[in-house]
Structure 1
Amino acid sequence: MTIWLNGQMLPAAEARIDPADRGFTLGDGLFETIRIKDGQPRHLPRHLARLTAGTALLRLPLPYESAALSEAMAALIAATGTKDGVLRLTLSRGTGARGVLPPPDARPTAMMTVAPAAHMTAPVAAVIARSTRRNEHSPLSRLKSLNYLDSILARQEAAERGADEALLLNCAGRLAESSIANLFLSVGGRLLTPPVADGALPGILRALILERHGAEEAPLTPDDLARADEAFLTNSLGLRPLLSVDGAPVGNGSAGPVLARLLAEPDL
C-alpha cells in the first residue's frame, strides 16, 4: 500500500508518525473522506474549503496550499492506479509537549491514503441511540475532527441492538444525523434535513442537495420519522435509503421516488 505522508510518497510499511503526535494522543486534527470516481477526486473544492474552514476554527496551521494538496492527491491516485475508490486526507497538529495547550510553533502532520471503493448504497435499518447524543453547542459538531467517539458509541449500540446504523439526537432531543451520515426526510412533499445549528455536520452531498433539489433545513424530532413518506442518509460515499427506525417502518418501508431521482443525478 502506497501512501502520501508530509510531502513524500512511500510504502505504508515504511511510514512513521511520531508517538508524541497530538493527533494520536489527543485527537487534535481533522480529516476529509473523498470519493474517487474515474480516477478523479469528486467535489474536491468543497472538501478543501471545509478543511480550510476547520483549520481556521481550530487555529491549526495548514501546511499546504489547496493547489499543492490537489497535485498530491492526483499523484497518489495515479501511483495506486485507483479508478474507483476512497481517498482520506488526515491532518493533525503534529508533535507537542504533554498538556492540551497547542505548541506555538506547531508543525502539522499531513497524510493521504487510498482504499477501494466503499459505496454507501445498501438499505438501512436504524435505531435512535440511547448511549450518547450530539452536542449541537460544540463547534466540533461542524467539523470532521479526529475524535469520533460519540459516533463509535452510537454505532456499537446499533450493532448490539441488531441495526445497521444509529441516529443521534442532540441535547434538545431533536434529530441531528446518523453516526456517519446526514439525514433527509421527505414529509408532505417537502425534503427536510436537520440544520447545522441542531448538530448536523455540513456534509458535501447535503449541501449539493440543499442547493440543487429544493431541500430545506428544519428542526426535526423522532415524531417526524413517523410522518415521513421516505428517508435516506447521505455522505461523500453515497446515498442510502433509511427503511426503518427502532423497528418501525419509515413511509412504506422501501426506497422512495425522491431518493431514486437523486441517485439518477450523475454529479451526486
Structure 2
Amino acid sequence: MIVWLNGELLDEGDARIDVRDRGFLLGDALFETLLARRGRIAFLDAHVVRLAAGANILGIPVPVSTGLLAIACEMLLEANGLSDEPRVALRITLSRGPGPRGLVPPENPIPTLLITAVESPPPPASLTAIVATPRRNALSPVSRLKAVPYLDNVLAREEARARGADEALMLDTSGYLSCASVANVFLWEGEKLVTPAEECGILPGVTRAAVIDLAVRLGIELVEDMIMPQRLARASGIFLTNSLMGLVPLSRIETNELAPHRMTGRLQAAYELLLEVEEEEADEF
C-alpha cells in the first residue's frame, strides 16, 4: 500500500513517523474517514471543515489547504490503483507532531499529516446492536471532536462482538443515548425522526448533518432530543449513519427485533441521489 505522509507518496514499509509524535504517545490527534466512489470523494469540504474546526480548538495547525488535500487524496487513489474502484475508504490523520516529554504541547508544533486509502466493502443491509457499558463524557470537549483516542468506542465494539452483535449503542454519563461506536443514531417514533442532541456527547457527523437536511427537505418532522434508552424499545425503526455506510437500519437491539421503517428506504434513496449530485459537482469543478 502507498500512503501520503507529510507531502510525499511512500510505500507503507518506508513511511516513518517520529517516535516522539504526540499522536502516537498521547492521542493528540484528529482524523477524518471519507468515502471515495470511482475517484470522487464525498463531502470532502465538510470533512475538511470539521477537521479544521477541531484543529483550531486543539491548536494544531493544518499544514495544507482543502485544495491540496483533495489533490493529495486523488494522487493517493491513483498511486494505489483505486481511482476506478466503486468504494474506497480514505483516512486523513492529523497529529500535533513530535514534542518533548510531558503533556505540555510544543510552542511551535510541526504537525504530522497522514492519508491512507483502502477498498471498502459495500454496506450491510442491516445491523444488530447492544447497549454497551462504556459511556460518552458529554462534558468533555473531546466528545465533539473526531479525535484519535477511541478506547471507549473500542471497548464498546468489543463488548458488542462478545455478545454476538455488530454494533454498540453508547449512552452518555447522564444515561441519555449518544451514538454508536462508529456512527450516529436515528429513531423513528411513528412518522417523526428523532436523533440525540449534541449535548449528549455526540460527534456531529457529516452524514448525520446530510440526513437531517434531507429529512427537512422531504417534510419529515425531525427532533434533536435527549433520549432515554427506554425509548429504543418503543421505536418503530432505528438506523445508523456514517460516511462509509451511509444509512443502515438496525434489525435488532439486544433481544428486541426491529422491523424496517418504510421511510428509511426513502431517506436512503435520497442520500444516494445526494452522493451522485456531489460527484457531478466535483466533476464540474
TM-score (norm 2): 0.90
> Is the Cα–Cα contact under 8 Å of residues 34 and 91 in structure 2 kept in the other structure?
yes
Mapped to 2, the partners of 1:46 and 1:245 lie a distance apart of 31
**2:130 alignment partner in structure 1:** 127
Matched, 1:85 2:93: no
Instruction: Give, in angstroms, the shift of residue 216 of structure 1.
Output: 2.6
Structure 1 unaligned residues grouped into runs of 5+: none
Please state whether the residue corresponding to 2:93 is helix, strand or coil. Answer: strand
Alignment of 1:1-268 (within 5 A): 1-82=1-82, 83=85, 84-130=87-133, 132-214=134-216, 215-238=222-245, 239-249=247-257, 253-265=258-270, 266=272, 267-268=274-275
Which 4+ runs in 1 deviate beyond 3 A?
Answer: none
Mapped to 2, the partners of 1:187 and 1:193 lie a distance apart of 11
Whichever residue aligns with residue 124 of structure 1, its letter is: L
Mapped to 2, the partners of 1:234 and 1:209 lie a distance apart of 8
Mapped to 2, the partners of 1:264 and 1:167 lie a distance apart of 25
> Is the Cα–Cα contact under 8 Å of residues 186 and 229 in structure 1 kept in the other structure?
yes
Superimposed CA distance per residue, residues 125-150 of structure 1 (whole angstroms, 9 cap, x where no aligned partner): 111112x1001111111111110000
Q: Percent identity of the aligned residues?
A: 44
> Is the Cα–Cα contact under 8 Å of residues 214 and 267 in structure 2 kept in the other structure?
no
Instruction: Give, in angstroms, the shift of residue 40 of structure 1.
Output: 0.9
Instruction: Give, in angstroms, the shift of residue 152 of structure 1.
Output: 0.5
> Is the Cα–Cα contact under 8 Å of residues 121 and 241 in structure 1 kept in the other structure?
no
Mapped to 1, the partners of 2:230 and 2:191 lie a distance apart of 17
Mapped to 2, the partners of 1:165 and 1:119 lie a distance apart of 16
The alpha-carbon distance between structure 1 residues 143 and 119, as it changes in their structure 2 partners (threshold 3 A), is: farther
Instruction: Give, in angstroms, the shift of residue 254 of structure 1.
Output: 2.9
Whichever residue aligns with residue 32 of structure 1, its letter is: E
Q: Alignment RMSD, CA only?
A: 1.2
Mapped to 2, the partners of 1:211 and 1:108 lie a distance apart of 34
**2:219 alignment partner in structure 1:** none
Whichever residue aligns with residue 41 of structure 1, its letter is: I
Whichever residue aligns with residue 71 of structure 1, its letter is: I
> Is the Cα–Cα contact under 8 Å of residues 173 and 221 in structure 1 kept in the other structure?
yes
> Is the Cα–Cα contact under 8 Å of residues 22 and 92 in structure 1 kept in the other structure?
yes
Whichever residue aligns with residue 207 of structure 1, its letter is: A
Instruction: Give, in angstroms, the shift of residue 255 of structure 1.
Output: 2.4
Mapped to 1, the partners of 2:17 and 2:93 lie a distance apart of 12
Mapped to 2, the partners of 1:107 and 1:34 lie a distance apart of 24
> Is the Cα–Cα contact under 8 Å of residues 210 and 216 in structure 1 kept in the other structure?
no
Instruction: Give, in angstroms, the shift of residue 38 of structure 1.
Output: 2.1
> Is the Cα–Cα contact under 8 Å of residues 86 and 118 in structure 1 kept in the other structure?
no
Q: How many residues in Structure 1 have an aligned counterpart in Structure 2?
A: 264
Structure 2 unaligned residues grouped into runs of 5+: 217-221, 276-285
Whichever residue aligns with residue 235 of structure 1, its letter is: N
> Is the Cα–Cα contact under 8 Å of residues 30 and 147 in structure 2 kept in the other structure?
yes
Please state whether the residue corresponding to 1:154 is helix, strand or coil. Answer: helix
TM-score (norm 1): 0.95
Please state whether the residue corresponding to 1:14 is helix, strand or coil. Answer: coil
> Is the Cα–Cα contact under 8 Å of residues 188 and 261 in structure 2 kept in the other structure?
no
Mapped to 2, the partners of 1:91 and 1:118 lie a distance apart of 25
Mapped to 1, the partners of 2:226 and 2:202 lie a distance apart of 10
Whichever residue aligns with residue 53 of structure 1, its letter is: A
